[in-house]
Amino acid sequence: MRAISYGGGVQSTALLVLAAKGDIDYSTFLFANVGDDSEHPATLAYIRDVAAPYAARAGIELHQLRRTRRDGTTETLMERLNRPDTRSIPIPVRMANGAPGRRSCTADFKIRVVGRWLRQHGATADAPATVGIGISLDEIHRANRRRSEPHERIEYPLLDLRLRRDDCEQIIEGAGLRVPPKSSCFFCPFRTIDAWRQQRRTEPELFAQAVALEKTVNGRRAALGRDPVYLTRFGKPLPEAIPAETVPIPEDVEDGGCDSGWCMT
């Protein structure tokens, strides 16, 4: 079994085009949707309107997967974050000093969701599935940061082909597709400051939801006697960290430590 972990971003969409052209040997793409209320709407729209029709025309299976509880119901990341009984925070919120906290969102809502599908379709420790991850050459430092699960063997097709992000964009445009936006949850603490600025300016409803989420998390932490946490590295509430008016804010060099390649590709 060979499958691509599809994130809906530039690198994994380039893999979709390469697979459609027969340049890489993958016919199954797995998109672990962490929730229609959590994934950025632009990513969901791109998959619905561009990637899924393109995959269907090419004879490629593109499956949307969701986290499923033991009772058969589904759970989104936003629902997990807003559960009143949730004591831990699954996303890498920033501490007062700007450092990201521990996270389980990628493991719980991406890696394990894909892994469950693979096992349900025959992957075992004796016969592991090959899972392709969309990490490009300019992000080679992100590779090999996560150990493989017993039922899988990780490959990096873009690294094998020595392709960079710019190459991926050209591959997508060469197939007649528009280049997708960067994929991630719209409230992810690893978003760049520029992305937060743009969200406040052009997507005020999403920004308001992120503000509300930060308040909810901190309200729960205050009740437990814990220090506040934040969605940016500035150690203050989101509306103060990303002001509406244009004021100088230090830029990020990159979008943080989401090194696994399962989310922002």
pLDDT digits (tens, 9 = 90+) for 127-157: 999 999 999 999 888 886 666 788 999 999 9
Domain 2-183 sits in CATH 2.60.40.10: no
**pLDDT value of position 10:** 97
Residue 77 has pLDDT above 80, yes or no: yes
**What confidence category does residue 176 fall into, taking pLDDT thresholds of 50, 70 and 90?**
very high
In percent, how much of the chain has pLDDT > 90? 80
- Closest of 93, 97, 49 to residue 215, by C-alpha: 93
- Can you tell me the mean pLDDT for 107-131? 95
What tens digit of pLDDT does each residue of 27-60 get? 999 999 999 999 999 999 999 999 999 999 999 9
**Residue matched to tokens 């096992």:** 119
**What confidence category does residue 94 fall into, taking pLDDT thresholds of 50, 70 and 90?**
very high
**pLDDT value of position 87:** 80
- Can you tell me the mean pLDDT for 14-37? 97
- Closest of 91, 90, 94, 110 to residue 35, by C-alpha: 110
Residue 262 has pLDDT above 90, yes or no: no
* 73 burial type by CB count under 10 A (0-12 exposed, 13-18 middle, 19+ buried): exposed
- Can you tell me the mean pLDDT for 51-71? 96
**pLDDT value of position 142:** 82
**pLDDT value of position 245:** 73
**Which residues are paired to 30 by β-bridges?**
5, 63
**What confidence category does residue 85 fall into, taking pLDDT thresholds of 50, 70 and 90?**
confident
**pLDDT value of position 149:** 84
> What's the mean pLDDT when you consider all of the chain?
91
What tens digit of pLDDT does each residue of 40-49 get? 999 999 999 9
